[in-house]
Structures are given as C-alpha cells and as structure tokens.
C-alpha cells in the first residue's frame, strides 16, 4: 500500500459546502494515501480573480499535486496553464490543474464526467435531438459531451441569448456536420426532442424550482440534470412521475472527480466506491 502524503484542493467562490474533500480524501485513504484536500474559497476571505495566479504559484511552492477549479474561475485558470489537454483546448475552460515538474497542465473532466454518467445511467438512449438548458461553463462541457457522444441535433436555450449564440457558433466550428441551434425558449427547445439536459443552477439548494414547466415534459423524453445537491431535483421528480427515464448529477460529480484524482496521484480510482462514499457520507 502507498503510504505517501499529498495535498490538493478546490478553487471557487462560495464553495464552503462542497463535498470534494469528502470524495477525494475517502478514495485516497482506500489507496493508502494520506491526502489533505483544501477548500480555497475566494468568498471567504474575499479575493478577486487577480488572486488566482499568485495562488497557483503558492500551490506549486507548497507541493500541491493538483487543484480542481469551479465556477467562476474555469476560463481564467485556462489562461494560466503551460499545457492543455485537447478537450480543454476545444472547450476553452478547465476544471483540473495538475502540478508537476514545475508545469501546470490543464484538463476538463466535466465533459467526460457527464458523458460517462449519462451512458452508465441511461444506456441506449436516442441522441438524435437533445435540448440543453443553460449555456454557461457547465453547459459548454455538457454540449461538447453530447456532440462527442454522437448527438445529431443540439438545441440550446439560455435566458442570456447572447451566451447561447456564442456557444452555438463555437460548437458549430468544432462539429460542422451537426445541427446546433439556439431556441427561442425552453418549450420550443424541448418540443420533439428525445432528451433534455438541465445545465442551469435551477433546482440546486438555494435555487429552488424547475428550469421548464412540468407541462412540457412527456413520458418518451429522457431527462438529465447536472445538479446533484439535492440528489433528486424537482425536475427529476416531476419527470420520474410521468415515466421519463432520468439521470441525476451525482454520478457526474463523482466521475469528473475520479478523472481528476487519477491525474493528480497517478492512481486508478474506484468510481463505484467513490459514489457510495458520496451518497452515504
């Protein structure tokens, strides 16, 4: 068994309630790794984005193996890397920073976390037409994942239409053979779609409600939510009631963490064990 010590952490804003330490430290313990996983919250004490670069320099000096990055610093962190994965380059943001040999390597495991979770939870679903609500950083990773999985048509909706339009242009440049459109509203995005993905914060603790009225759900629609706290959002509850196949966000949270964990520590994580630790913790 490995008996080394390691330190890693999560950078974000308003993240005191994050389960990342629990997820990473429990898995490290199972490998015999003595890991301290720090929450680095720019809200407490208050820091602005200019603090990001000196923080990375300090983490390198202290000996951090790596850092996860969450909202709202994924795009800014991207700019501070020495090297990037192909997926990170195409997506334009990162959530994983590996610190090794004096270099910063950036990756995006959000897209693979969503992709792996969707295929594990809802194998064999149709991806001909998929509605995506929310086109921020998380929405970009989800849309990229859907297209990598083979989605033929992705319909984007965001209350900020300029954000949806920018994402549409970006994705179309990467997937020229697919149909990527901006919908006028959530209802038209879902009409005739095979599946619906919520990539907005609506439904998470502190943001109650649903991103679309229940009346627009129907039994033949599969529904995925990237929100995982609570485990079952109002959207998933309503969808389940009428017979939709549903996919919650906890599996995505664990799978993106597992992909980061593997890169930080050069260890093969047990995804099912990590998921049990999260659910039971």
* Residues known to be catalytic: 74
* Residue corresponding to tokens 């920018």: 166
Sheet holding 222-225, edge to edge: 179-182, 153-157, 129-133, 195-198, 222-225, 246-247
Do residues 255 and 278 make contact, with C-beta atoms less than 8 angstroms apart?
A: no
Structure tokens of 131? 């509605």
Report the distance separating Cα 247 and Cα 83, nearest Å.
Answer: 33
């Amino acid at each position: 068994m490995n008996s080394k010590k390691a330190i890693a952490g999560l950078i974000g804003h308003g993240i005191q309630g994050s389960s990342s330490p629990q997820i990473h430290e429990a898995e490290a313990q199972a490998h015999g790794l003595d890991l301290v996983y720090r929450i680095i919250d720019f809200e407490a004490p208050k820091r602005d984005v200019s603090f990001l670069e000196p923080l990375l320099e300090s983490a390198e000096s202290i000996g951090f193996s790596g850092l996860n990055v969450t909202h709202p610093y994924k795009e800014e962190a991207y700019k501070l890397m020495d090297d990037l994965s192909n997926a990170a380059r195409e997506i334009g943001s990162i959530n994983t920073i590996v610190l090794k040999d004096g270099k910063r390597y950036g990756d995006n495991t959000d897209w693979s976390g969503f992709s792996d979770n969707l295929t594990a939870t809802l194998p064999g679903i149709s991806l001909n037409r998929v509605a995506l609500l929310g086109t921020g950083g998380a929405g970009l990773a989800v849309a990229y994942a859907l297209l990598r999985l083979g989605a033929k048509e992705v319909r984007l909706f965001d209350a900020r239409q300029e954000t949806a339009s920018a994402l549409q242009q970006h994705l179309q440049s990467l997937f020229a053979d697919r149909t990527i459109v901006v919908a006028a509203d959530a209802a038209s995005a879902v009409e005739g779609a095979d599946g619906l993905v919520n990539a907005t914060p609506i439904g998470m603790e502190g943001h109650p409600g649903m991103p679309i009225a229940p009346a627009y759900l129907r039994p033949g629609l599969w529904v995925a939510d990237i929100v995982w706290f609570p485990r079952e959002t109002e959207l998933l509850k309503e969808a389940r009631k009428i017979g939709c196949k549903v996919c919650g966000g906890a599996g995505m949270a664990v799978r993106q963490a597992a992909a980061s964990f593997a890169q930080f520590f050069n260890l093969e994580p047990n995804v099912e064990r990590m998921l049990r630790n999260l659910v039971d913790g």
